[in-house]
Structure 1
Amino acid sequence: MRIGLITSAPDHPLLAAAGALLTARGHRVEALDPAHPPAAGDAPPADVYLLKARTPAALALARSLEERGAPVVNPAAATALCQDRTAMADLARRAGLPFAPTRTADSPAALLAAAEAGDLALPLVVKSRHSRRDDLVARADDLARLRALAEQWPGEAVVAQPYLPSTGWDQKLWVVAGQLFCTRRRSELADPGPARPPHGGDAFGPHDLPAERARLALRVGEVFGLDVYGVDLLDGPDEPVVVDVNAFPGIRGQAGAPEALAALALRAAEAGRPSPPAPSALPGPREGDPADAQPDAAAR
């Protein structure tokens, strides 16, 4: 079979390891750089494509391949939805997922105005509305920090989530075709704290994950129409709170992940269609409107 990788970095550890497994079984693995896509009709589509890149060019390439009948994992529509944090929060909360309340604004200056008027409580996590490399992800504990963000990111559409100090660590959950992987990572937004995670040290695998959180991770895939994805949860004993969903994350250093990805690629190729359905299109909140009312739950 021919397996296409939509990425500008085919040497990424996960892709390289999965590709080596597929090649060793006699399959052909080809990388397509979305910045330099092949001309339409130059060659028949591969049996399946793995959409690792999430740039506009990569999404356009994936859509064109889907229109030609090629299966793409994850589908372009599902991947694009995860790039819009407003749409992500709206879909998650409509589906009953415990996603952090998310407020949308057309700029950090709009958040500053709301906070100065007493309509928005601090501290906050402020993120670019549209997820991309080197986007805005910052913690604002006071008005001075919001003013600085307004100066540094003028005109940047943003979302805001409430910040609630926790252990200072995030639970990073990854799923590949229903197979769960996880670890803890120090939150970039946390106060200075211990260099080692709580709850028994560095080891943290699927067997350490409460069943409720494992079920939640699998439910996220169903809601978003994803087969390869990541879920970020606050680390702590309270009710789980989802703060982010990522389509096709790196999943570095997780034993068994390359094998799971290679097996998924072959199953999707044999089926001749994307394994998950694309999520239903749901209208997101208007610019400046909250996805929820005033944030009232924890965010990273």
Structure 2
Amino acid sequence: MRVGLITPDPGHPLLAATAALLTGDRHAVEVLDPRAGVAAAGSGAPADVYLLKARTPSALALARELERRGAPVLNSAAATERCQDRTVMAELAERAGLPFAATRAFGSAALLVSASRLPWPMVVKSRRSRKYDLVARVDDPAGLRELASSWAGEPVVVQAFAPNDGWDHKVWVVGDQVFAALRRSELAPDDGSPERSGVRLPDGWAELALRVGEAFSLDVYGVDLVATGTGAPLVVDVNAFPGIRRQPGAPRALARLALARAAGARDAGAALSRRA
């Protein structure tokens, strides 16, 4: 099989370990740098499957071109893009009946200062999910004015702050395999606590994470869950193809998923050829 990696960083631990497993089993691994845009696809036959570990416009354009040529891409360009807009994320979650924080959008952080019916305390996030985006708890109007002065033109969403124990359940899914860790919330005081890997999720939480994947059409993704005051889980974020670091078994799960998807695409193509 030929497996393509769409990434500017093939040395990322998850990708490097996955590539080593694939090449060790005598599969070919090719790297496409998305910074080259659609040109990175070349003119030859596409690989049997691609792993999209990038979210830039050029990466999405490259993934769409490969999909147009009939190659499966994990995750698809459309699914990856959906996870970048937190208003779309909230709408999808609501339609799927997922326990997602109620979300209200504003054209800019500056507009929050004069907004009515704000849910104090609240969480303010950049509407577009990206590296170094805005995610902050705001407890009062003074704190809001300070935030707005620094992020005045940033399109944002607002969610009511859900009381919790200060820990995020970081849940990662690769196909149908679920990995989990506990990480101190970025909204909680930093007490120096390290991430706790290999944690056991409460009953039903793994199934909830898999439902998120179905709703968002994702194959490799992360879900941030918090336990509310009642102990019930609340989905606070969804990420397409996160790093999944320090999770033994994740590279092998990713290699298996890539090969299974490639084989499925080949079988489907062969069946179409026979019918033709």
TM-score by length of 2: 0.91
Shift of 1:149: 2.0
* SS of structure 2 residue aligned to 1:64: helix
Which amino acid letter does the alignment assign opposite residue 189 of structure 2? D
Partner of residue 226 from structure 1, selected from 218, 234, 238: 218
Alignment of 1:280-291 (within 5 A): none
* SS of structure 1 residue aligned to 2:98: coil
1:24 aligns with 2:17: no
- Deviations along 1:9-35, one digit per CA (max 9) or x if unpaired, are 111100000000001011111111111
Structure 1 counterpart of 2:141: 143
35-44 or 4-13, which moves further after superposition? 35-44
Structure 1 counterpart of 2:69: 68
- Deviations along 1:99-144, one digit per CA (max 9) or x if unpaired, are 0111100011222211xx4x11211111110111221111211112
Give the Cα–Cα distance (whole angstroms) in 2 for the partners of residues 250 and 203 of structure 1: 14
* SS of structure 2 residue aligned to 1:175: strand
Structure 2 counterpart of 1:107: 108
Structure 2 counterpart of 1:248: 241
Structure 2 counterpart of 1:180: 178
- Say if 2:2 and 2:29, in contact at 8 Å, map to a contact too: yes
- Deviations along 1:49-78, one digit per CA (max 9) or x if unpaired, are 001101111111101110111110011101
Structure showing greater relative contact order (alpha-carbon pairs closer than 8 Å, 6 or more residues apart): 1
- Say if 2:34 and 2:58, in contact at 8 Å, map to a contact too: yes
Alignment of 1:189-268 (within 5 A): 189-193=187-191, 195=193, 202=196, 204-205=198-199, 208-235=200-227, 238-268=231-261
Structure 2 alignment gaps of length 5 or more: 269-276
- Say if 1:86 and 1:104, in contact at 8 Å, map to a contact too: yes
Give the Cα–Cα distance (whole angstroms) in 2 for the partners of residues 194 and 49 of structure 1: 38
Question: Alpha carbons of 1:203 and 1:68: their partners in 2 closer, same or farther (altered >3 Å)?
Answer: closer
Give the Cα–Cα distance (whole angstroms) in 2 for the partners of residues 22 and 193 of structure 1: 40
* SS of structure 1 residue aligned to 2:147: helix
Give the Cα–Cα distance (whole angstroms) in 2 for the partners of residues 160 and 123 of structure 1: 10
- Say if 1:179 and 1:260, in contact at 8 Å, map to a contact too: yes
Shift of 1:191: 3.0
Give the Cα–Cα distance (whole angstroms) in 1 for the partners of residues 193 and 18 of structure 2: 32
* SS of structure 2 residue aligned to 1:250: coil
Shift of 1:272: 1.6
Give the Cα–Cα distance (whole angstroms) in 1 for the partners of residues 42 and 206 of structure 2: 43
Give the Cα–Cα distance (whole angstroms) in 2 for the partners of residues 253 and 39 of structure 1: 30
* SS of structure 2 residue aligned to 1:127: strand
Shift of 1:94: 1.2
Structure 1 alignment gaps of length 5 or more: 276-300
* SS of structure 2 residue aligned to 1:36: helix
- Say if 1:168 and 1:193, in contact at 8 Å, map to a contact too: no
Question: Alpha carbons of 1:163 and 1:32: their partners in 2 closer, same or farther (altered >3 Å)?
Answer: same
Shift of 1:164: 2.9
Give the Cα–Cα distance (whole angstroms) in 1 for the partners of residues 30 and 17 of structure 2: 14
Structure 1 stretches of 4+ with a deviation exceeding 6 A read none
Give the Cα–Cα distance (whole angstroms) in 2 for the partners of residues 7 and 196 of structure 1: 28
Shift of 1:39: 5.3
Aligned positions, number: 265
- Say if 2:173 and 2:221, in contact at 8 Å, map to a contact too: yes
Which amino acid letter does the alignment assign opposite residue 152 of structure 2? P
Give the Cα–Cα distance (whole angstroms) in 1 for the partners of residues 190 and 159 of structure 2: 21
* SS of structure 1 residue aligned to 2:189: coil
Structure 1 counterpart of 2:272: none
Shift of 1:83: 0.5
